[in-house]
Structure 1
Amino acid sequence: MNYIVQTNRLTKTYKKENVVQGVNLNLQKGEIYGFLGPNGAGKTTTIRMLLGLIKPTTGTVTMFGKDFPNNRLHILSKIGALVENPSYYGHLKATENLEVYRMLRGVKKEKIMEVLTIVGLNHVADKKVSTFSLGMKQRLGIAIALLGDPELLILDEPTNGLDPQGIIEIRELIKSLAKERGITILVSSHLLSEIDQMATHVGIISKGKLIFQDTIEKLRAHAMQGIQLTVNKPENAWKMLLAKGIPSTLENHRILLSNTNDEEIGQIVKSLVMNDITIYRIEEEKKSLEDIFLHIVKEDYHVQTAISV
Structure 2
Amino acid sequence: MKHFFNDLLNKQVFFKYGFYLLLFMSIVLNILILPIMSFDSELYIFFILSVIFLGIGYYEKPIWVLLLGTAIVVTARFFLIAEPFSGPITYIIHLITYFLITFISTGLMRNYQRIKSGNIELVTALANALDSRDSLTANHSQNVARLSLEIAKEMNLPRHLYDVILEGGLLHVIGKIGVPEHILIKQGKLTDEEYTLIKEHPVIGYNIIKHISNFDKNGILNIVLYHHERYDGKGYPKGLKGEDIPLVARIVALADTFDAMTSKRVYRDKLDLDYAVFEIRKHRGTQFDPNVVDAFLKLYKRKMNGLDLK
Q: Structure 1-normalised TM-score?
A: 0.30
Structure that is richer in strand per residue = 1
Structure ranking higher on relative contact order (CA contacts 8 Å, 6+ apart): 1
Q: Structure 2-normalised TM-score?
A: 0.29
Structure that is richer in helix per residue = 2
Give the structure with higher Rg (CA).
2
